[in-house]
Copies of this chain bind each other. A is one copy, B any other.
Amino acid sequence: MKRNTWQKEAVRSALGDAGGFVSAQALHASLRESGSTIALATVYRALTGLTDEGEADSLQQEGEVLYRACTPGTHHHHLICRRCGTTVEIEAQPVEEWARRTAAEHGFTRAEHVVDIFGVCARCSDLVDRASRP
């Protein structure tokens, strides 16, 4: 039987607070900083659980996996700030159709797609510009 522990709840809550994609390690560090004694392995286990249950999305970047609390049960894509991780959920009906059609055209079945946009958000853009100016 599945049990509820404060550890799982802490991870779910911290993930929600993060607002964007974060690594398991970063999440663990921030939980530790706010006084929690949760173990790293437990954070990994909780994140895996959340992902399996559709409460979180994950993506791989530079050799590590990033997680994010996501609206459950909806198919959507992400617009992610490379600098701060801030993420916007986006829908893309036309892209869904394009993907389905393209796969079918080439005889592919069971098609899934990965569609994410990485950029620098307005706020971070600002900071960068300011910094590079004398």
Query: Which A residues form the contact surface with B (CB < 8 A)?
Result: 60-61, 63, 65, 79, 81-82, 88, 90, 92, 94-95, 98-99, 102-103, 106-122, 125
Q: SS class of chain A's interface: helix, strand, loop or mixed?
A: strand
Would you call B108 and A98 a contact (CB within 8 A)? no
Known A60-B63, A79-B102: A119·B114 in contact at CB below 8 Å = no
Which residues in B have their C-beta under 8 angstroms from that of A107?
121-122, 125
A110 contacts across to B, CB distance below 8 A: 82, 119-120, 125
In the complex this chain forms, how many copies of it are found? 2
Nearest-neighbour CB distance to chain B for A8, whole angstroms, equals 24
Contacts of A81 in B (CB 8 A): 108
- Known contacts A79-B103, A114-B114; A109 and B98 CB within 8 A of each other: no
CA distance A63 to B63 in the complex (A): 7
Contact B113 A115 (CB under 8 A): yes
Known contacts A92-B98, A98-B95, A102-B90, A119 near B109 by CB under 8 Å: yes
**Closest chain B CB from A88 CB (angstroms):** 5
Interchain Cβ contacts under 8 Å between A and B, 9 examples: A92-B98, A94-B98, A106-B121, A107-B121, A108-B117, A108-B122, A111-B118, A112-B118, A115-B115
A98 / chain B contacts, CB cutoff of 8 Å:
92, 94-95
